[in-house]
Amino acid sequence: MSETPEFPAGAGPHEPPGSREMAARAAALDAADPLAAVRDRFVLDAAPDHASGDAAVYLDGNSLGALPRTVAGRVADVIAREWGELRIRSWTESGWWTAPERVGDKIAPLIGAAPGQVVVGDSTSVNLFKAVVGGVRMAGKGCTEILVDATTFPTDGYIARSAARMTGLAVRPVEPARIADEVTERTALALVNHVDYRTGRLNDLPGITHALHSAGALAVWDLCHSAGALPVGLDAHHVDLAVGCTYKYLNGGPGAPAFLYLRESLQERFESPLPGWNSHADPFAMDPAYAPAEGIARGRVGTPDILSLLALEAALEVWDGVSVDAVRTKSLALTDFFLECVGVHVPPDRARSVTPYDHRQRGSQVSLECRGAGEVMDELIRRGVVGDFRRPDVLRFGFTPLYTSFADAERAARVLGEVLGALPEVGTGAAGTGG
């Protein structure tokens, strides 16, 4: 590994050809953006202290979404009034008890689900465990394997292997594009990421789900990098189970509770591997024998995390009057424009996109491969362009259309060009955090 390189503070000696043209195009695109006003619903940097003096560009919403303005006041009220004054009465008078399903119904239209099929609570990992074990228990007799997306976020693989050990099945990693060819009558289910966390590649949810069903297997989807960024269509494509976090494109805050989707027609058959008192048909009977609640409530486990759950509920207000289709249109326009700006600003052969250019295969992030990605991202952040990186050499830029502007995209590419242009050769850096 080479020593940490020195990064000159300014740009190169000459303005890159096309810089003014790209900045002008960004301004025109922002002026015509129908979602531009939604940006004001978030708390974003005005003028932080960094090398350029400009406002920071936040392109890490694929790890942690920005703070919606409605959240602070709502959380303050929950603490001071609902907890501080009403106390235990808030479980009924303030609606705490029904919050997991109520907030689930707010998320449902963002992932293409009808009401009564989404419950919010626990972490993504816990919900993955519930979905995989519960799915195996619903699978047909004679099933011997679970297919797992071979490019998955590591937690999904850990959970799948643990579930397989518990249920006596084997885990078989398969590239998402090969699942339709690899599924057999022995497959209980497949656990697949809708969007690859590292590359931003969008996997074929309709096609893979159909292929699994044709073989008699269930489809379990991880929506962590797609919920709130693009249309998912869970009901339309007959997905069986799905999970997702809410702190990325849904902007629920650090550690915000995750969600579990369970198709209505499967709910009666769903047997949770974590039968907590909160999912009992009569929770306050304190019956030593477990009887699951009706409907999506059987996806609950223990006492809900009220503070974070109600912060998420407030955060979801930013979606008022916003359609997921409009978000997807802007997402593709933003990522197209960013890739074009990279082509203008970044010296040839210094970085290449590992995110597909094809709209049908792209989520809402752009991942660029370059040498010394860790130090490069550190320098970008120092100059006010906040993304993240994944070992060994991938820069990730997440585009949240609710608050990311085209000017943000142009500036990020321009600063990246300055950083890479100043460095003929760099070493490797330390890993980032988050999914």
Burial class for 150, CB neighbours closer than 10 Å (0-12, 13-18, 19+): middle
Identify the active-site residue in 7, 58, 153, 259: 153
Active site residue 222: yes
- Smallest CA-to-CA distance from 414 within 367, 345, 353 is with 345
197, 247, 399, 406: the active-site residue: 247
Alpha helices in 316-386 (DSSP H): 324-345, 373-382
Q: What angle do CA 368, 371, 374 make, to 5 degrees?
A: 80
> Among 396, 397, 403, 408, which one carries the catalytic annotation?
396
Instruction: Indicate the SS3 state at residue 310.
Output: helix
Beta bridge partners of 201: 362
Catalytic residue among 156, 222, 305, 388: 222
Residue with structure tokens 């590994």?
A: 1
State the DSSP code for 174.
Answer: E
* Backbone phi and psi for residue 147, each to the nearest 5 degrees, phi listed first: -90, 140
- Which position has the token pair 């998912």? 232
Q: How far apart are CA 415 and CA 386, in angstroms?
A: 11
Catalytic residue among 41, 198, 201, 248: 248
CB 95 within 8 A of CB 102: yes
Active site residues: 153, 222, 247-248, 396
